A and B are shown apart, each in its own frame.
Chain A
Amino acid sequence: MKKLTKIATIILASSALLVGCGKSNSSSNASAKSNSSTQVSGKITIVGSTALQPLVEKAAENFQTDNSKVNITVQGGGSGTGLSQVQSGAVTVGNSDIFAEQQSGIKANKLVDHKVAVVGMAPVVNKEAGVKNVTMKQLRDIFTGKITNWKQVGGKDQSIVLINRPEGSGTRATFEGAVMDGQTAKKSQEQDSNGTVQKMVAQTPGAVSYLAFSYIKSDIQPLSINGVKPTDANVTNNKWKIWSYEHMYTKGQPNKATKAFLNYMVSDKVQKSLVKDLGYISISNMHVAKNAAGKVTTK
């Protein structure tokens, strides 16, 4: 009988664990002191873009320390997942690297956009290629397959190995929107994760790809385009064209708790410290704005 009780307990405990999986992140903050005067409460589920995930996770952690009655769960899954889940109402907030208008199968007019950060991206090459600057046209020709050797753009005699991002990924959509001018990229290798792309470019001679600024380490060579360097400052005035917003979408207007959290995301507390620390560009530093069609206007 003892054994039986033991087994039953194990089964019960494991099923409780399974059930509990869906709503983690809760208990630890219960004891935290709250200091905000208007106490909000509720449960917020956030799903989507893996590029935005670390920022939201960190911000949610800090937010919950101040608002112990709010329970925030942050998950990855990709921009497509985020948008479709928020559209179907399964989650409160859908994170996306691209505008909802750009994603097929999403009814963008049902969703409310909250831009929380900006990400700059740059073409990167293996150091052996011997190229540091290209023109926009050359870059396009490299990705359409018209230019196949680095010596054609002033580098070494080394054939070009294209590493693209998968169709539908936010990074690829941003890059193609800014660079490809409506042309289709040549079929080539594809890789989804920023970390893997970084490693592949670093060790494959002749490799070229594109990465968010925060992934550009010293072992790969970022390319300047038309003499413009990929820096945060150049993104804020749109001299550097390849950048995108990080969006947090809600279905219709957000409820009180969600609204409080979204306000927190764009507050100076997050924008001045977390956003910078994690390699994004603060939304409040931008001198220009971009719409879903890619049109840029000065603020």
Chain B
Amino acid sequence: MDPIKNKIQNTSKETRQDLYGRIISYSCIILIVVVVLSIFFFVASKGIATFTINHVNLWNFLSGKNWNPAVTDDSGHAELGALPMIVGSFGVTFLAALFATPFAVGTALYMTEIASHRDEKFLQSVVELLVGIPSVVYGFIGLSVVVPFIRHHFGGSGYGILSGAIVLFVMVLPTITSMTVDSLRAVPRFYKEASLALGATKWQTIYKVILRAATSGILTAIIFGMARAFGEALAVQMVIGNNAVMPKGLFSSASTLTSVLTMGIGNTVMGTVSNNALWSLALILLLMSLVFNIIVRLIGRKGRMQS
């Protein structure tokens, strides 16, 4: 047969390659979507059981202050008030973000605007190093350094929200820093040049132009850091004290959603109230990470509209 005709009428090697590539990437995507959906379904079905099977009132669950899964009250319901853990989780998260943001923005500004190329590279590797440290190491450092420090200077046992927030501060710092660096780099060069040409000082340019232009990116970075802090379990569990009562202050022992979850899940039996209650906590965590994601989307959209 005519080789040209042959080439045109039959599928070529390249077309087949294209097809294979597509099959592989589609099956990967499908796998990921199925995994995400099944995790959602699994956690939700388990987490809702507390309310549908054990008949715990949703509002009481979210606002109750007593957490005693093994104890039943007068009406026969288990005492499940998750408020102490919710407050604890948000407490450490916001405090950690509050501590970390100034340092992160400062470091990022230095790296992008002031530092020489060599300094920048050096700082970059320092920040990346912080990401690689396993959380159990952070927890152990917190237990051996932060807790005694707090106890010495502020009294109490040293375990509490402040210790948790300090450990988390170091853990979220690299996340916020590296994302802030990216958003500062994304500020168009001519903004800076125009500002300097108009006679603005370096500080005025940074403060009035660069930071303003990068605001939405920086906010996204902070939210990402908070999402990481909210979900961190091991390091926080080691320094917060795991006392499921309403935190009386920054220095008294408290608990977070994750710390109660990791401690309890191996000691309860599938299908019991105590176990279902833990799945409900997991559901709250999952929903919160969804909320953090949505906030990031919203900020991203707003930022795009402005520019």
Binding site for B on A (CB under 8 A): 1, 4, 7-8, 11, 50, 76-81, 83-84, 87-88, 103-106, 161, 166-170, 187-192, 196, 199-200, 203-207
User: Whose C-beta in chain A lies nearest to the C-beta of B143?
Assistant: A199
Complex interface bits, B157-174 against A, C-beta within 8 A gives 1, otherwise 0: 111000000000000000
- Give me 10 other A-B pairs in contact (C-beta within 8 A), A50-B266, A104-B70 excluded: A78-B266, A81-B265, A81-B266, A104-B272, A166-B267, A167-B264, A168-B268, A189-B242, A196-B143, A207-B157
CA distance A81 to B267 in the complex (A): 7
Residue from the list A161, A166, A189, A199 in contact with B264, Cβ < 8 A: A166
Whether B24 sits at the interface, judged by CB under 8 Å, is yes
Whether B217 sits at the interface, judged by CB under 8 Å, is no
User: Whose C-beta in chain B lies nearest to the C-beta of A49?
Assistant: B266
Complex interface bits, B118-160 against A, C-beta within 8 A gives 1, otherwise 0: 0000000000000000000000000110011001000001110
Which chain A positions have C-beta within 8 A of B92?
none
Whether B186 sits at the interface, judged by CB under 8 Å, is no
Residue from the list A167, A189, A190 in contact with B69, Cβ < 8 A: A167
Binds A, one of B13-21, B93-101, B195-203: B13-21
Cβ contact within 8 Å between B143 and A7: no
Query: In the complex, which residues 210-268 of chain B have their Cβ closer than 8 Å to any Cβ of chain A?
Result: 237-238, 241-245, 253, 262-268
Cβ contact within 8 Å between B244 and A80: no
Whether B280 sits at the interface, judged by CB under 8 Å, is no
CA distance A105 to B270 in the complex (A): 8
Cβ contact within 8 Å between A80 and B268: yes
Least CB distance, B50 to chain A, in whole angstroms: 14
Cβ contact within 8 Å between A167 and B242: no
Least CB distance, B279 to chain A, in whole angstroms: 14
CA distance A84 to B268 in the complex (A): 8
User: Whose C-beta in chain A lies nearest to the C-beta of B13?
Assistant: A1
Which chain A positions have C-beta within 8 A of B253?
188-189
Which chain A positions have C-beta within 8 A of B266?
50, 76-81, 192
Which chain A positions have C-beta within 8 A of B275?
80, 105
Cβ contact within 8 Å between A104 and B20: no
Least CB distance, B16 to chain A, in whole angstroms: 9
Cβ contact within 8 Å between A4 and B20: yes
CA distance A196 to B142 in the complex (A): 12
Least CB distance, B197 to chain A, in whole angstroms: 49
Which chain B positions have C-beta within 8 A of A104?
70, 269, 272, 274
Cβ contact within 8 Å between A1 and B17: yes
Cβ contact within 8 Å between A168 and B267: yes
Residue from the list B68, B143, B263 in contact with A192, Cβ < 8 A: B263
Whether A161 touches B267, Cβ cut-off 8 Å, given contacts A4-B21, A104-B274, A196-B238, is: no
Which chain A positions have C-beta within 8 A of B68?
167
Whether A203 touches B269, Cβ cut-off 8 Å, given contacts A11-B24, A167-B70, is: no
Cβ contact within 8 Å between B262 and A192: yes
Q: Tell which of A8, A76, A104, A168 has the most Cβ of chain B within 10 Å.
A: A168
A-B contact pairs, 17 of them (CB 8 A): A4-B20, A7-B24, A76-B266, A80-B266, A80-B269, A80-B275, A81-B266, A167-B264, A167-B274, A168-B267, A189-B242, A190-B242, A190-B243, A191-B237, A204-B151, A206-B157, A207-B157
Which chain A positions have C-beta within 8 A of B102?
none
Cβ contact within 8 Å between A204 and B157: yes
Cβ contact within 8 Å between B271 and A105: yes
Residue from the list A1, A8, A169 in contact with B267, Cβ < 8 A: A169
CA distance A77 to B68 in the complex (A): 22
Cβ contact within 8 Å between B267 and A78: yes
CA distance A207 to B156 in the complex (A): 12
CA distance A190 to B28 in the complex (A): 42
CA distance A243 to B129 in the complex (A): 45
User: Whose C-beta in chain A lies nearest to the C-beta of B67?
Assistant: A187
CA distance A103 to B272 in the complex (A): 10
Residue from the list A167, A168, A189 in contact with B243, Cβ < 8 A: A189
CA distance A206 to B244 in the complex (A): 21
CA distance A87 to B157 in the complex (A): 41
The 5 closest A-B pairs by CB, nearest first: A78-B266, A168-B267, A105-B272, A105-B269, A84-B269
Which chain B positions have C-beta within 8 A of A189?
157, 159, 241-243, 253
Complex interface bits, B44-87 against A, C-beta within 8 A gives 1, otherwise 0: 00000000000000000000000011100000000000000000
Which chain A positions have C-beta within 8 A of B143?
196, 199-200, 203
User: Whose C-beta in chain A lies nearest to the C-beta of B245?
Assistant: A187
User: Whose C-beta in chain B lies nearest to the C-beta of A196?
Assistant: B238
Which chain A positions have C-beta within 8 A of B244?
187, 190
Which chain A positions have C-beta within 8 A of B272?
104-105
Cβ contact within 8 Å between A168 and B274: yes
CA distance A125 to B186 in the complex (A): 56
Which chain A positions have C-beta within 8 A of B264?
166-168
Q: Tell which of A8, A167, A204 has the most Cβ of chain B within 10 Å.
A: A167
